[in-house]
Structure 1
């Protein structure tokens, strides 16, 4: 349905109807009746949506009901706007209430007419479709027909697997050997191996190659292959297993098996057949996490070294056996560009090289496949039929990939990807559709998407969980189902996601069909009669849209544009005042002044002005009584008016300067007095420290994230006292006033532990006399930054046993000459920054230290005498960045003798990058090549852009906090 979760509005509405019963008159019953109808509609849509693919009549019915449900929400929003007001108390409050009822006579009449029109539409739909179901049978019949169509789609998907086999899939050897080693590890205990990945990534092909391997064939007596489905039936599945087992032992299936109707008896039959036999069973394309729970009783564990392989799109299925049996989960990765190119050439050019005149176009086409083997094979088959002389047809495919006329095989690929969407629970379908508004090459920032969901009411309430926690669980579920992927899992930036281009086409198509969102991206395509959500990818087209089309908008998101967004243009678009606009995101639009129309959007919950040129927030901000999120990061705003305090439901208030300042200083805003009135605040960044503010924050007991800059030495005692009252704090960012200002945190000791025990991120940027006593006690801490702390004592002594620390930033943090990472220290550390240690001469890593370190960044260590001793012990170290080190160390690093001890110590590191002032990032000579023109790939470019100055380090901490 994609209509928002209206539960909070309904609760408010019920209270209002009771309170205003005398003044509302007949309108009360009409509103209540229309709300009851909305509940029935939502129940119908939740059940029927997704079952309309093979039934055009049902599709029309669902579309009509969805539009009526949207219109009901609009009417309810109008009603609340007119009547949901606080009139005050006493005589004047009563007088205002009567005056308001008189003023609303005409709007009440309009609302009543709209309700009557809606009821007439509902009556017509009911008559035409016999109350949504009679022409289509019962709901169970709907379900049965949809199951048939789903199974047909699954069969189409399985037939596509041959595409990959035909192309002789490349890049399979390493994962194949990994799986074989798990199967033939010599352990006699039962083990389940799960292969997880998105549809079309080659799970089935990989497992078939494993099962057919000669070494595997030699080790097992029994082999079975059972294909499951979204609507699997346990008894039928067990009968398939029994049939295959009898075939393996070369016997006929007894007739009585067909007559067994009890699942327990079928279980027992399977168990008897497997007794004392070593088997390898494959269950392909499993969707349900409960699958294994029902099946495990039929399998004889024994001590024969039995193995089961499961392939699935859902990581939840793969993890279902953890802790119960020996298990191993293999996550399928997309093909590298090199392997993708090889596969593409095999399919298109029969293994020959790509003609020069087609190479650029071919690379553009291949980029859209994002390493998905099934898509590469399908696209390759399409292009192979076009020949190599018709470059215009190739360019047409590049521009229109995802269109309707690109060939049957590609449409089947998209159809198989659509199954993943169909398999989602109802609420996750809506959330995934929201991701369709992002431009194709725009990364999806976790915090941004989550806040969209919450502002639009798409996150369902749950006991003992905040909406942000629930939304993160939604995102995790979408990720586990391989529908949305983390772009750079090891990147220091906030978590970014992307959706495969072909899957995005599927989602966008579904979004358009449901009128969920409209995308304006440079063409004047036809617009729906009522825009519900609008994503603007091209401001030039946006400027030509009629202003009256914004009347029904719920979300308006304008993505970064090189073109400035004129104030008058936005004013024209908002002049009618959208009745239900909840999300207004203008990030990166270069807007210089906020039009007054923005502050008339009384239902607005999310206002993002980050990366704009806005300098002043007017007093009228106080009229946005429903605002939850105000994002002013990287703007020129330095102060907020006191009217901000009227927004009592504000949850996120984020302000930081767009000006680049030295030494990583991040400035924010001067807060108004009495900020403690914002009792709902959960995240507050970056607010300027003063005596009153530091005292007031103790009242903001809901705070989970807090960033304060401009702290002085004298603020330490009061700051610690206030922090002792914030028991929900998870992220804390403290920044001193100046480069040499000492932060007095001596009282940050064990007495603060009860309030700070859940702290996960701590950034203390300023001079410290010693490491605060409480830090070693913060066992939930995952990120720690001690930038510019200038400690005389070795910080590792007190920090090394933090059990969950994953990232440690030591930037100008130590004045000593040597650091030693002792055995057993930093058990979970994954990323380490050692920057600007101007006295550091020696560094030692003992065996067993930092066993999980994957990334080490060393910069501005100009007196380092030798390369860190013991770095060979960091066996999981994958990336090493070196910049501005001593000449001695660089000389050691550039030793080309592969037999030397120094070279052997670093030979296990996958990527070593050395910054050269003339050449840029150069790979270490062990790769036998350097890059004179700059970074070699996107990962290196991201590091270059991010690590160019120390200001980015503080930006990283701030971003982590805001995420």
Structure 2
């Protein structure tokens, strides 16, 4: 209701030239609504008021729809000629599947009468907030000390189970060490099965050629699981059935050593087809499964119960350590008073050693007085009594009740997403904003405030961190524990907040938000059971069915439209009717897996005046609608991985002054005038340029004009720009930015944090890079390394650095990395310069955690790094050595390239790989025996877009690979 009250306030204060009587009516019912809004969180706790509370919620939804319809058809008018609406017809509303027109005065009087009736009913039955027992946790703020999420280093009690599970991999149990071994982790929900599996996976994954981590969930989709495994291994198959997917996976894994985790299995029947995809190849492959159900664990593991690992609850000592660390930030701390100490002991007993329960309760108590601790102790049920999962939900419900109202709303919204889904943070934030959950006070941008909410939910452990940028400690995605998700869905259903359509029940009544969690092939008449009128006032829609896409035109009040579809290159998504969704603020179209598809947009979308986000992943689209520049609130315009090599900048782009994100635009498709217009987008924070496919058809003079215009625009944007990326698909389309070598597009004081110049042609690293003191991630390709290292070494914040040489006749060079004052913050170095020898002086790169180097097989000995022992042995955790195996092979993408021929040449020389492998192991392993060392033999050089291990498990790393831990076909994990 907060967003409604905000809009009503604007309606009265701003100059809409409403009649005085109308303004008085709005002020009157706004006061009543504000009082109800203030009392509602307490009144809904009283028995017998559910019908009244539900009526208030529905009324607020209906009023907001009416207000939005009014605001849509009026405009500020300083000439006092009144407001604009449909001529003599009043406002348009969708009622009972019919379009009706009503005068604004009648609408306002109706709203006033409805609000008065609700307020009168409260007075009639004499219920008030005085009837509600005070809840000492209800108004507690989020503890400001909890500024960061709990990372892996802060896990408690994980070391011993991790080592025990790895030892289990090596036990005989009637299974040879080289045979496929499947270990199952079994235990109650909330005990940490997934956390343990992930810890083992992260520790061992570099020792295997292929690896993947996928979830199954309570409603298993075997085809989706198999496709997710193949996708994690770098393969894309969209149009195959289950048997074909099994065959593809078997072929892919039959001669490779693999490590796969299948998380959260509920049904042994779903396991059988998944297991059949894992070949018995006697290469020491390993599989981990996790489940809550012991018979399922027995069905999935090797040698029956010998390879079942039973999760144990935390010991009293570890429980206390986790509790104190979560509350005080240190396990050495202790409660302030003897009373708090006594209460904490009782609370921990009730948590029964369950990590999820301990973390949840500790997050609730952080910064709270002893009275709140005592209240929580008395309210908690014990985990040792009754149904453990239900008791866990009761404990989690205490944390939910403690949340401020705006965080409760944001948390409930995650029910839109399927179980076990990793949710992109920026998608979620923009959806919250589009729904009106985030009300700014003028000091913070709405998305920035939404990110603050996101961090608070992470800190309260209601959301779990997913992908994390290790270089600036930023959470990029999140997950929801299935017990928390079950609890949220139960609450969401009771409050008519979100309806999940999965065929489990019939949907009746007015639906406000809907998520279709099934695709076309899974539909067995589910969609036919949905009443058409029940969707007429829907606000958020998540669709996974292409056949339902045409129905979006029914959603006249939709704010968020998220199409997440099973698509292939032959599919067409027709959105030509979208220009009639006048309240739409968020549009995202994306395939479930990264396949290109055809997308059809209307020629004009100027009617979508509220649109804030347009995100079109992998779409085959050459241009945006002609009037897109007329959308005043458009903040995020993106077409990542565009199948056409990038979209032309729209005409009059300089009018899109609200833009913060612009991705997937092609300067070779764009006019010089529009490239210059980029410079006027002073709110732009992220710019991703595409230059593929079209340069070879362009005159040199035209190209120079475009590059110069781009340089000029970036100069104008640079003071606010945070991320700048150039992306292409092949060497022939690299951007010639010769003028940039000496002329910096960035001012002396720049806040640029990420800069990807891999696809730009630089002779050597420009000197102006050295002045970008906030840069933490930098990628560049050069013809000559020269003094580039000394320039980059001075950057104080640089944590990630990738350097590539892209010429065939690479110059032989030597680079010395000093031990003091250089690369003091660097954590990840990717050095793909085959004819450049590195020397590390003592103390060089003291924080380096990952080293990735590319070498030529015939010159490996000459260009082995010197001083590798000077890198911190305890800090360096991963070493990736990629040997470019056949230097005579042409570059991928060139006319002479032939995949089959190149692969044959490499495979013919397999017997020569062993000496190279031994050479590399001898150089690195003695000094870094605790690091995961992976040696890969690649068929040809990758030129163009970044290949980055951290961006996903990309687990099929090469044609042939080995690890430093393998000796005589064995592995220390066996």
If the TM-score is normalised by the length of the shorter chain, which range does it land in?
A: 0.5 to 0.7
Q: CA deviation at 1:445?
A: 0.8
2:123 to 114, 118, 130: 130
* Aligned counterparts of 1:411 and 1:599: Cα–Cα separation in 2: 46
* Alignment-derived partner of residue 803 in structure 1: 796
Pair 1:839-2:835 in alignment? yes
1:818/1:507 Cα in 2 relative to 1: closer, same or farther (>3 Å)?
Answer: farther
The answer as to whether partners of 1:417 and 1:503 remain within 8 angstroms in 2 is yes
Return the structure number with greater helix share: 1
* Alignment-derived partner of residue 691 in structure 1: 672
Q: CA deviation at 1:713?
A: 4.6
1:505/1:637 Cα in 2 relative to 1: closer, same or farther (>3 Å)?
Answer: same
* Alignment-derived partner of residue 338 in structure 1: none
Q: Structure 1: where are the runs of 5+ without partners?
A: 151-168, 177-197, 214-223, 230-235, 245-280, 287-309, 322-373, 383-406, 660-665, 938-963
Structure 1 residues 43-58: aligned runs within 5 Å? 43-46=38-41, 48=43, 52=45, 55-58=46-49
Q: CA deviation at 1:892?
A: 6.6
Structure 1 residues 437-452: aligned runs within 5 Å? 437-452=416-431
The answer as to whether partners of 2:934 and 2:962 remain within 8 angstroms in 1 is yes
The answer as to whether partners of 2:646 and 2:690 remain within 8 angstroms in 1 is yes
User: Cα deviation per residue 1:909-928 (whole Å; 9 max; x = unaligned)?
Assistant: 04646468899675525266
User: Cα deviation per residue 1:598-656 (whole Å; 9 max; x = unaligned)?
Assistant: 21111111111234733443223122111111112310111123211211221111124
TM-score (norm 1): 0.64
* Alignment-derived partner of residue 559 in structure 2: 582
Pair 1:909-2:931 in alignment? yes
* Alignment-derived partner of residue 948 in structure 1: none
* Aligned counterparts of 1:771 and 1:120: Cα–Cα separation in 2: 70
* Aligned counterparts of 1:442 and 1:225: Cα–Cα separation in 2: 30
The answer as to whether partners of 2:465 and 2:477 remain within 8 angstroms in 1 is yes
2:500 to 519, 533, 544: 519
The answer as to whether partners of 1:784 and 1:807 remain within 8 angstroms in 2 is yes
* Aligned counterparts of 1:600 and 1:440: Cα–Cα separation in 2: 32
* Aligned counterparts of 2:664 and 2:496: Cα–Cα separation in 1: 39
1:770 to 764, 768, 772: 764
Q: How many residues align?
A: 707
Q: CA deviation at 1:675?
A: 1.1
The answer as to whether partners of 2:39 and 2:129 remain within 8 angstroms in 1 is no
2:534 to 530, 542, 549: 549
Pair 1:924-2:963 in alignment? yes
* Aligned counterparts of 1:8 and 1:754: Cα–Cα separation in 2: 41
Q: CA deviation at 1:701?
A: 1.1
The answer as to whether partners of 1:893 and 1:903 remain within 8 angstroms in 2 is no
The answer as to whether partners of 2:433 and 2:450 remain within 8 angstroms in 1 is yes
The answer as to whether partners of 1:739 and 1:766 remain within 8 angstroms in 2 is no
The answer as to whether partners of 1:828 and 1:852 remain within 8 angstroms in 2 is yes
1:756 to 750, 756, 764: 750
1:243/1:420 Cα in 2 relative to 1: closer, same or farther (>3 Å)?
Answer: closer
* Aligned counterparts of 1:543 and 1:502: Cα–Cα separation in 2: 30
* Aligned counterparts of 2:864 and 2:923: Cα–Cα separation in 1: 12
SS of 1:570's equivalent? helix
1:108/1:877 Cα in 2 relative to 1: closer, same or farther (>3 Å)?
Answer: same
* Aligned counterparts of 1:226 and 1:885: Cα–Cα separation in 2: 47
The answer as to whether partners of 2:511 and 2:535 remain within 8 angstroms in 1 is yes
1:927/1:504 Cα in 2 relative to 1: closer, same or farther (>3 Å)?
Answer: farther
TM-score (norm 2): 0.63
1:473/1:227 Cα in 2 relative to 1: closer, same or farther (>3 Å)?
Answer: closer
Structure 1 residues 600-679: aligned runs within 5 Å? 600-611=580-591, 613-659=597-643, 667-679=645-657
* Alignment-derived partner of residue 880 in structure 1: 879
1:876/1:713 Cα in 2 relative to 1: closer, same or farther (>3 Å)?
Answer: farther
Structure 1 residues 139-288: aligned runs within 5 Å? 141-144=132-135, 171=158, 173=160, 208-209=316-317, 238=337, 240=339
* Aligned counterparts of 2:817 and 2:614: Cα–Cα separation in 1: 43
Structure 1 residues 494-533: aligned runs within 5 Å? 495-523=476-504, 525-533=505-513
* Alignment-derived partner of residue 346 in structure 1: none
* Alignment-derived partner of residue 686 in structure 2: 705
1:716/1:747 Cα in 2 relative to 1: closer, same or farther (>3 Å)?
Answer: farther
* Aligned counterparts of 2:325 and 2:785: Cα–Cα separation in 1: 65
* Aligned counterparts of 2:388 and 2:102: Cα–Cα separation in 1: 56
The answer as to whether partners of 2:157 and 2:318 remain within 8 angstroms in 1 is no
2:776 to 772, 776, 782: 782
* Aligned counterparts of 2:835 and 2:920: Cα–Cα separation in 1: 30
1:429/1:846 Cα in 2 relative to 1: closer, same or farther (>3 Å)?
Answer: farther
The answer as to whether partners of 2:501 and 2:515 remain within 8 angstroms in 1 is yes
The answer as to whether partners of 1:854 and 1:878 remain within 8 angstroms in 2 is yes
Q: CA deviation at 1:731?
A: 0.9
1:897/1:801 Cα in 2 relative to 1: closer, same or farther (>3 Å)?
Answer: closer
SS of 2:965's equivalent? helix
Between 1 and 2, higher relative CO (CA 8 Å, sep ≥ 6) is seen in 2
* Alignment-derived partner of residue 269 in structure 1: none
Pair 1:35-2:30 in alignment? yes
1:610/1:88 Cα in 2 relative to 1: closer, same or farther (>3 Å)?
Answer: farther
RMSD: 4.8
Q: CA deviation at 1:46?
A: 4.6
* Alignment-derived partner of residue 729 in structure 1: 721
The answer as to whether partners of 2:817 and 2:844 remain within 8 angstroms in 1 is yes
The answer as to whether partners of 1:922 and 1:930 remain within 8 angstroms in 2 is no
Q: CA deviation at 1:749?
A: 4.6
1:782/1:225 Cα in 2 relative to 1: closer, same or farther (>3 Å)?
Answer: closer
The answer as to whether partners of 1:427 and 1:458 remain within 8 angstroms in 2 is yes
Q: CA deviation at 1:109?
A: 4.1
User: Cα deviation per residue 1:419-461 (whole Å; 9 max; x = unaligned)?
Assistant: 2222222211111111121111321011111111111111231
* Aligned counterparts of 1:769 and 1:73: Cα–Cα separation in 2: 59
Pair 1:486-2:525 in alignment? no
* Aligned counterparts of 1:531 and 1:75: Cα–Cα separation in 2: 17
SS of 2:133's equivalent? helix
